[in-house]
Structures are given as structure tokens and as C-alpha cells.
Structure 1
Amino acid sequence: MAPPSINQVLLVAGTHGNELSGLYLQKLIRDGVYQADRSTFQVKSTVANPLAVKKNTRFVDIDLNRAFSAADLTSDANEKRLAAEFVKQHAGNENQLIIDLHNTTSNMGATLILLSSDPYYTKMGAYIKQRMPEANILFEDRKSWQDQPYLCTTGQHGLMLEVGAQAHGSLKYETLELMKNLLTAVLDYIENTNLNHTVKLSDYEAYGYIEEVMFPLDIDGMRLATVHPTLCGRDFVAVEPGEPILATFLGYDMHWQGEETVYPHFINESAYCQSNIAMAMAEKRIVRVS
């Protein structure tokens, strides 16, 4: 099947209002400091949750980036209203690819999050790894495209960029540079594919999301453990079966009970505190494109 011919990229920032890297990358585009357009497509920008940006908070009522599943797009919540408006305005645009820009408090470096293992995206991952060997390619493809709750899956084509570590509500030079470099590589891939330019690509290592690890709680809803100190700041570093992942306040460790090696990411992400998510786990996979 022929790859899609993309004639517009929609660059979305402020899906989470206190993640500033994407907002400032949009500013660099407006100021002419960063060139996003290519010969075969134009780049348009939008801010997804302006009120959350104004308040410098992740969201107003609910997480906008979990509000796009096909069911229940009607609600009084600020973010449900925004989701319905976004779908109405952007979901039907053909030949458009949505890039949602995020930063995380976790030490994930430059991470390209792909919601499909369609050849267009697997080859994109190969191209990014070739251009940025330090980048992480993370597939969250266990759900169908239609069942994904994310903003970038409202149309036919989309992905997320995640950079870190960066405190929410703040801006760091290093993470902004990571986002610029990762976005440049993605835009160049789209351009080369549109032009049918042949680029030799190699098989590569990527990660596939499998599950989340929750903090244990007491009867008052308070945590009984923290992320184990040997894991903090070590996103995408291998954890073997039986190795510690949580340290309890009673002095004993909780260990990874799975039978396979896993790779934690979104470790101790501050935005997940309310949900008591300690980290997400991924498996390593070899993606074959040759």
C-alpha cells in the first residue's frame, strides 16, 4: 500500500497547559527563528487548551489528552467541549498529520510516540533512529486507532513528541533543543516520503508499551512506597525479573514480577501523581523495515 501523501501538518501545543516546550517552539516558528514548512506541505499551529495555558496548569477539569475516545465526546467539562470542537474542526481534514507536542518530568530524552505499527510509522521510526540515534521510539499500539484516547489520533494520521526531563510550568534550553531536533527529523521524513525519495533504512530497536505500575496505597489513599532509588532518572534502562522497582516505607522492596526484561518510562512523572502511577513498562522489540 502506498504511503499517505501529507499536504498539511497540524502542530499542536498546550494540550497540557503547563508543558511549555511546544508553546515556545510555536513561538519560534511565528518569529521566523525555526522553519517548519517544507516544499510539499505547510505547517499550521494551534493551542489545544488555551485556558489551561493561561492558568499554567495541566488541565482545567479533566486531561484533554485522554478525552478523544470515540465514546462520550459530549460533556460540560472544559476539555470535553474542547475535544468535541477539535474533532469537528480538524478530524475530517484529509492528508493531514497531527503532531502533538509534550514534555515530561521523566528523564525520557527525545521520545517519538507512535500509535500505530503501520509501515508509514515503522519507517518513520527507522528514519528518526538514523538521524537521532539517541532518540527513543515508543509504540503505544495495543489499541486500535479508533479506540485511542489521544488528541493526535482524531484524524487519519498523527503522533506525539515527548521530551524530558523538564519540570512542568518551566522551560529548559536542552529539552527545547531536543524537541526542535526531533520535530525537524519528523518533518524531513514526511517531506522525503512525499517526494518518493529513497532513503536506505535499517532495522532498529524500539519499545512497545505493555502496562502501568501503580503505587500501593493504604486505607487513607496514601502511598505505601516510592519509586525505587535505583530507577529514578533511568527511563528506558532494562529491569530484569526480580529486580526492585518500588521501595516501601516499611523497609522492604517490591520487585518486578514479570518473566521478561522490561523498560520503565514515565518514571515518577509528576502529572501522574493523582492517578498513583509509578511508571509505565515497555518491552523491547526489533522493528524490521529492510
Structure 2
Amino acid sequence: MSTSAARPDQFASASQRFPRHEIDGLAGTSFKHQHLQAILADDAPGGFFEVHAENYMGAGGPPHAALARIREDFPVSLHGVCMSIGGPQPLDKAHLGRFKDLVRRYEPALLSEHLAWSTHETTYYNDLLPLPYTEATVTRVAAHIDEVQQAIGRPLLLENPSTYVTFRESTMSETAFIRELVKRTGCGLLLDINNVFVSATNQNYSALDYLSDFPLDHVGEIHLAGHAQQQDDEGELLLIDSHDGPVSDAVWKLFDTVIGRSGPIPTLIEWDSAIPDWPVLKREAAAAQLILDRHSQASSREKFHASA
């Protein structure tokens, strides 16, 4: 599989502070501070950990001490949530500078942000808001991605959103929009399969069709998460990307399909509220690892028979 994803050995330097850890084909979890001692005491804690960049933009203290301890033994994925790459205004230079400093400080194996916007002038929203898919939006988002990649000196993975509305002015599909961004910027992609399922259910289209049209060759990381079920104002089913429970059976099936097509890709279990004890989160990651390993073994057998 060809991918734009960053790899640790691509960016190693004489000033490297942490050990190199491979991340290919591994399943990981969101890192929560309350799990630190359980992780350190675990004989087989798992593959890698992902953190939200904005939680570590202070200069020091317990959060950095915990992350530095994790980074010694595991690969880390740095996931931004507030860059507002899809916003109409220029990127916040101070925020981008802090993000760049974190990249230098922790040398993450993977870096990602969202195809979304979350700021307007001096207002900062808690939600990751969707975009109209137009030529003007492509141009603006591509310029923002270029600015981020230039600042950090390496590729960024862009995450597909979960959506609850569509825009009349959109002139292209979400997958076509994403392909154009990859073409213009050389960025990689973070495929959030739960977001695909949530959006497909809410917008009444096929998640499998979406994935068939998604540029899997550029995916460097996958996210899996739980979602909540609600009803909209008309009594119809509405899914919310809540990250507060286990991965649903439907999302596991989509994940199995994607890995069967793409081969093993670093995969993260996101669980950001109603956080369970460490063994529960670890079991979710172990379930993802089983699927990754099964397809890796199948791919190896196919290559062996092809060369025999």
C-alpha cells in the first residue's frame, strides 16, 4: 500500500530525544492520565497511544511528565482538534507555533487534524463544524494544510468529519473533495470509520459506497469509536459521534472490510468521555489488533503463494 503517512525514521535527527518505535500495523488507544499506572504495570499494554495536542500546550507540569513517560516506551500519535483548518479566517499563528513545538518535543509517529472549522473571529466553538464542498473551499483548506505542513516540516493526516447537515452550495462529494486536497497538498489521511458510519446514517447514503470511493492508498491512520443514538426533530434516527462507548458491530464490520482492501494500518480506539477502566479500553484495542493481524497474515500467505 502506498501512503503519505509520516514514519519515525523519515524524520530522525541527531537531536532525537526519544527512542524510535514502529507503529505500522498496530492498534492503539487514546491516552488518559488516569490509566498511566495501569499501563506501566501492564505486561502487554498494547501498540501506541494518541493524545490531543491542545491538552499539552502548556509549558510543563504533570501532563507533560505523564506523556514523556509514555513516549519513552511507545509510539505516540499527536491529534489536533482546534486548528480550524476549514475556517474562513487565517490560521492562528500562535496556535500553530505551539503545535509545531509539540512536534519537536515529542517526535510523534503520526500527526493529524480535522477537515472542519471551529472558530469565528474571536469565538471558539466546542464542535468540529462541517464545510461546503466547493472549489473555493478546496483552495482555502489546501492553503491552510500547506501552511501547517510547511511549519512542522512533515506530512499531516487529515480526518474526514462526522456530519449532521449538508450544504446546498456543495458542488462535489466529500470523497472527491478529500481526493483533491491530497492531490494539491500531498497530505495523508486519517480515516475515521465511525464518522463514515455516523454521516452515512444521518445523510442516508451507503457507508460501503463512500469507502469504495475513498482514497485508501493515502490513509496513514484509522480511528474507531462509539456513537450515541438519538432522534431528530422529525423523530428520525440521529447518530452522534460521542466517543463514550464501545465500537458498534456495524463499525467493526466496516473496519474489517477496509483492512481487507488496504492491509494493516495503525488503528486507534477513541474513547473520550464516560472513560472506562484501562482493561476495558485495552480489550477494544485488542479486538482491532486481531483484525489487523488476521489480514496481515492473509496478505503474507498470498504473497508467498504468488512467489512460489
Which band: TM-score by shorter chain? under 0.3
Q: Which has the higher strand share?
A: 1
TM-score after normalising by structure 1: 0.27
